[in-house]
Structure 1
Amino acid sequence: MYNIKAAAKILDMPKVTIRSWETRYNAITPARTESGHRLYSDQNLEDLKWLKIQVQENGMKISEAVKQLHTSRKQFYHPDPSDSEGTPVEYAKQIEELYQAAVEIDIDRFNYLLDLKFSLFHHQTVFFSIIAPLMVRIGAEWESGQISVAHEHMITNIIQQRFNQFFRIFPVAPHLPKVLALTPSGEHHQLGLLLFSLFLRENGFHVVYTGPDTPLEGLAEMAAKQDFKLVCMSVMTPKSRPVAEQYIKELSEAIPGLQFLLGGQGINCDDEYINRYCIGYTLESWKEWLEEYKAALPS
């Protein structure tokens, strides 16, 4: 956390501007000390930096920039490529630019365009409204045979590197439980899991991401040694459901009290279990779960 003097120095912004954007335009909401002094988080600084770029470099009015920032918080991702809501119309141009660079295997341009998007838009907008629909499109073409496995893996690897970069930015809150994020053996769809893992990390959770097709062998021993309290698992196909159930069974037996958070089209939320939760696809549903989860944590 940073006081306003430190924040102003890091951002190279006058303190009066920071206060004005906060109080007049509700751009951010910093924490307060007991004596009432402002304390700015890394997320606050990132938001202010993004707003500064929009105003100074892109000529946007601060009111419009703040509106776009707040709108980006509400953008959501749905993994069904037939769902038109997964590809917001306002970002169709950005998605198409990246898609063409990906199809042509122009990696330098692809990375340049990613850099450009992150400089122009809030990172949540880029991940949810540009990268997510892009990867759904590429994944669909891979499954139909229009893009090779090697081609799809190359693009996926570049995107995952971007996720990893943001993983390192956000600080970890030591009082929050440690999280293991994975897809079970045979399950290769990881986009939703990456997005949710980033959401958790942005909210202070220490997330260890083992990724797609994680084998069960040795997993319980590793989870016990690392003292994980929550396992996030993505199950995108019904055929992966019994495999996921086996993971839950073995991990629960090895680590009493371990909880599971399940997402994806292959999960079954009909039955109620004390150690598992089903989560939806929207940012709002994630925030609702997070609020309930934090409220249930021991004080």
Structure 2
Amino acid sequence: MIIQARELAELFLAGEDEKAMDAVLEYLESHSHNELYHDLLTPAMYLIGDWWQENIISVADEHLATAICDFVVSAAELKRKPAHGIQRKVMVLGPEGEDHYIGLKMVSSLFKEHGWQVQYLGPNLPLDAALDSARRWQPDVIAMSAALAYRLPALKVYSEAFQELDFNPSIIIGGRAVASADISKIRTEGTLVVKDLPQLKTWLQTGKEKEDDLDISI
């Protein structure tokens, strides 16, 4: 029987890393990695985030669940065969103060699947360090995310700073806060807003998000 998001969340919270891994491997026998990330892992972690916000679970519980989810994502990634032949580069990061990173790893995985070179810098990266890395590596795309609404202004600050770089990288912003909030006030021209992994996959395959009035093309 294929595991559901709530069941997987409960395994994460119970510290059942081996059972969680077995369930995910069974899921991958009949589903793609993209389905794993979008339809199973993301809803499971959203549930855990909701339970934490509602004080149903503790901070320690949330950290345990995140660590096991990280283990599962990393193990699942080893079973994915990356594409080859594309020379484009993407830098993936979370702004300073943003500690959530599972979504960043899923985004990195999706870019790798489409043959991109990925520089994964993780969460909570100071702007100066991000700019320094960008100048040295000169990625075609810089992707960022925010899980909580009060981190959205930081995405705008980072986006504006990256848009000043002389090699003109495309900017992508996403994450739970982006997917659920009205971000019109922090959106900047030339920034692609990605609300879920299927939308990002479409953009990677076509080079353009047609429904977005601030399209960026690759």
> TM-score band, normalised by the shorter chain?
0.7 to 0.9
Quote the residue 2:117 is aligned against: 206
What is the alpha-carbon distance in structure 2 between the residues aligned to residue 183 and residue 195 of structure 1?
13
Runs of 4+ in 1 over 6 A off after TM superposition: none
8 Å contact from structure 2 (residues 100, 123) kept in 1: yes
Larger radius of gyration between Structure 1 and Structure 2: 1
What is the alpha-carbon distance in structure 1 between the residues aligned to residue 13 and residue 217 of structure 2?
46
Quote the residue 2:107 is aligned against: 196
Quote the residue 2:128 is aligned against: 217
8 Å contact from structure 1 (residues 170, 204) kept in 2: no
How many residues in Structure 1 have an aligned counterpart in Structure 2? 205
Letter in 2 for 1:222: S
What is the alpha-carbon distance in structure 2 between the residues aligned to residue 165 and residue 175 of structure 1?
24
What is the alpha-carbon distance in structure 2 between the residues aligned to residue 282 and residue 222 of structure 1?
25
What is the alpha-carbon distance in structure 2 between the residues aligned to residue 118 and residue 182 of structure 1?
27
What is the alpha-carbon distance in structure 2 between the residues aligned to residue 181 and residue 166 of structure 1?
19
Quote the residue 2:192 is aligned against: 277
Per-residue CA deviations over 1:193-218 (Å, capped at 9, x if unaligned) read 44333222211112222232222232
What is the alpha-carbon distance in structure 1 between the residues aligned to residue 40 and residue 142 of structure 2?
27
What stretches of structure 1 of length at least 5 have no aligned partner? 1-89
Matching of residue 231 in structure 1 with residue 142 in structure 2: yes
Quote the residue 1:152 is aligned against: 62
SS of residue paired to 2:64 = helix
Matching of residue 260 in structure 1 with residue 171 in structure 2: yes
What is the alpha-carbon distance in structure 2 between the residues aligned to residue 96 and residue 201 of structure 1?
28
Quote the residue 1:180 is aligned against: 91
8 Å contact from structure 1 (residues 180, 207) kept in 2: yes
- Summarize the Cα distance change of 1:122–1:172 in structure 2 as closer, same or farther, 3 Å threshold: closer
What is the alpha-carbon distance in structure 1 between the residues aligned to residue 74 and residue 119 of structure 2?
11
Question: Identity of counterpart residues, as a percentage?
Answer: 22
8 Å contact from structure 1 (residues 235, 267) kept in 2: no
SS of residue paired to 1:218 = helix
Quote the residue 1:241 is aligned against: 152
| Residue from 125, 129, 147 that aligns with 2:35 | 125
8 Å contact from structure 2 (residues 171, 192) kept in 1: yes
Deviation at 1:260, TM superposition (A): 0.3
- Summarize the Cα distance change of 1:122–1:282 in structure 2 as closer, same or farther, 3 Å threshold: closer
Deviation at 1:134, TM superposition (A): 1.2
Per-residue CA deviations over 1:256-290 (Å, capped at 9, x if unaligned) read 312201222457357662x422223261x334322
Task: Tell me the TM-score normalized by structure 2.
Answer: 0.76
What is the alpha-carbon distance in structure 2 between the residues aligned to residue 252 and residue 102 of structure 1?
39
Per-residue CA deviations over 1:91-142 (Å, capped at 9, x if unaligned) read 6x53343233333323333333333333454333322222221111111112
- Summarize the Cα distance change of 1:225–1:191 in structure 2 as closer, same or farther, 3 Å threshold: same
Q: How does 1:61-72 map to 2 (within 5 A)?
A: none
Q: Of the two structures, which has the highest relative contact order with CA contacts closer than 8 Å and spacing of 6 or more?
A: 2
Per-residue CA deviations over 1:231-266 (Å, capped at 9, x if unaligned) read 111134442232222222333334431220122245
